Amino acid sequence: MSEQSSPPTALYPAIEPYRSGTLPVDDIHTLYWEECGNPQGVPVLFLHGGPGAGLSPKHRQFFDPAHYRIVLFDQRGAGQSTPLGEVRNNTLPLLIEDIERIRAMLGIAQWLVFGGSWGSTLSLAYGQAHPERCTGFVLRGIFLCTPAEIDWFLNGIRWFFPEEHARFVAPVPEAERGDLLAGYRRQLFSDDPAHNLHAARTWGRYEGSTIHLIPDPQVEEQFASAAVGLGVGRLEAHYFHHGAFLSEDQLVRNVDRIRHLPAVIVQGRYDMLCPPLSAWRLHQAWPEATFTMIPDAGHGAFEPGITSALVAATNRFRDEGTL
C-alpha cells in the first residue's frame, strides 16, 4: 500500500461525445450511452456510482482522449436512462447483461474497466462474470455491499455527521426508526409521488452532504435535486434491501477470477460513505493490485488527491499497457 505523495495530476480538458444514443434493453428500460475521445483508441468503460447517481460530463476527463475510446452509460433508472428511479427489472445480473449488450453493440472485444463507489461494486461483479472481456481495473472508494457497509450508511455515519443523520432520520416516523431501510422504502415506493420525491431528495441530500472531507454545498444540492435524488434514493434503497443481489461476501470470495488482471485501488482515508476497511479487505484478497490510500480525502472522485491518483492510474495503463 502507498500513500499519495507524487505531484498532482489534473483532469483532462472537457470534451464532448463524438457519438451517443439510446439502447432499449427490455420493455421498461432504455439506456443512454456515449463515446468520447479516440474512436480508434484503447477501449475503456466508465461505470458511475449510486446506484442511480448517473453520469457527469466531468467523468469523461479521467482519460487521455487521444489514447482512449471512452465509453460511458447511465445504468438502469439513472441519469438520462429512462424511466428515472425505476426498480422493476433492475438487478445486478441485468446490469451486467447491459454492459455486455453495449460492448457487443460497439464491437469491442475487451476494455479497461473504471468504477468508483457503486461503480466499483459493478466493476468487480462484471469482471468476475466476464474476466475474458477485461484488460484491467481502476477502482475507487470500494463498496462491497455487505450488510456491515449498508448498516454503516444507514446508522454508523451519525457518529461523524450527527446533524446530517438527524435530518435523514426526521421523515421516518419514530416507531419505524429501528429499521430505517424499511421505513424509507415505505416512503420511497409509496403511491403518492410528492411523498416519495420528498423522501428521495432527503436521502440524496444525506449522501451528498457526507461525500467530501470538506463538505461541498453545491454537491449536496445536486444530490438533493429531483434528477439525482430520485435515482439515488430509490435505487440505493432497492439494492440495499436485496444486498445488491450478491451472495455473502461474493466480491471478495471470487477475486481469484480476476486476480491475474492488473488493477489499481484508490481509497480516501476519511471516506465516510465507503470506509477504508472494504478497500483493505479487497486488497488483502488481491495483493497484486496497486493500492493507494489518499491521506487527505473523503469519498469524492473530484477531491484533488483522488482525482490525481485516478488520472495517474489511467495514464499508467496508457503508458505501460499493464501495471
Confidence (pLDDT) at 195 = 85
Q: Which candidate in 81, 117, 209, 278 is catalytic?
A: 117
Confidence (pLDDT) at 105 = 98
Confidence (pLDDT) at 323 = 46
Confidence (pLDDT) at 163 = 96
Q: What is the C-alpha to C-alpha distance for residues 284 and 278, in angstroms, rounded to an integer?
A: 10
Which grid cell sits at 195?
A: 411523498
Q: What is the C-alpha to C-alpha distance for residues 259 and 24, in angstroms, rounded to an integer?
A: 33
Confidence (pLDDT) at 6 = 54
Q: What is the C-alpha to C-alpha distance for residues 128 and 141, in angstroms, rounded to an integer?
A: 18
Confidence (pLDDT) at 226 = 86
Q: Is residue 166 scored above 80 in pLDDT?
A: yes
Amino acid identity, position 180: L
pLDDT tens-digit map of 233-261 = 999 999 999 999 999 999 999 999 999 99
Q: What integer is the mean pLDDT of 270-286? A: 98
CATH 3.40.50.1820 occupies which residues in the chain?
A: 2-146+245-320
What whole-number percentage of the chain has pLDDT above 90? 89
Confidence (pLDDT) at 220 = 85
Burial group, residue 10, by CB count within 10 angstroms (0-12, 13-18, 19+): exposed
Range with lowest mean pLDDT among 150-154, 192-196, 203-207, 293-297: 192-196
Q: What integer is the mean pLDDT of 195-207? A: 93
Q: Quick one: which of 127, 120, 29, 146 has its CA closest to 80?
A: 29
Examine the residue annotation and report whether 117 is marked as an active-site residue of this protein: yes
- What is the average pLDDT value for the chain, to the nearest integer? 95
Which grid cell sits at 249?
A: 461476501
- With beta carbons less than 8 A apart as the criterion, state whether 231 and 52 touch: yes
5 vs 159: which has the higher pLDDT: 159
For the chain, report the end-to-end CA distance as a whole number of angstroms: 15
Q: Quick one: which of 182, 184, 177, 179 has its CA closest to 198?
A: 184
Q: Is residue 1 scored above 80 in pLDDT?
A: no
Q: What is the C-alpha to C-alpha distance for residues 301 and 299, in angstroms, rounded to an integer?
A: 7
pLDDT tens-digit map of 67-109 = 999 999 999 999 999 999 999 999 999 999 999 999 999 999 9
Per-position b or e across 164-175, b if 16+ CB within 10 A of its CB: bbeebbeebeee
What is the crossing angle of helices 226-241 and 180-188, to 10°? 130
Q: What integer is the mean pLDDT of 270-284? A: 98
Q: What is the DSSP string of 223-259?
A: HHSHHHHHHHHHHHHHHHHTGGG--TTHHHHTGGGTT
Confidence (pLDDT) at 25 = 98
Q: Is residue 7 scored above 80 in pLDDT?
A: no
Confidence (pLDDT) at 73 = 98
Q: Is residue 285 scored above 50 in pLDDT?
A: yes
Q: What is the C-alpha to C-alpha distance for residues 293 and 270, in angstroms, rounded to an integer?
A: 10
Class of domain 2-146+245-320: alpha beta
140 vs 193: which has the higher pLDDT: 140
- With beta carbons less than 8 A apart as the criterion, state whether 31 and 23 touch: yes
Q: Which candidate in 271, 278, 283, 308 is catalytic?
A: 271
Coil, helix or strand for 145?
coil
Confidence (pLDDT) at 4 = 52
Coil, helix or strand for 37?
strand
Instruction: HSE, CB side, 13 Å, CA atoms: give it for residue 181.
Output: 16
Q: What is the pTM of this model?
A: 0.96
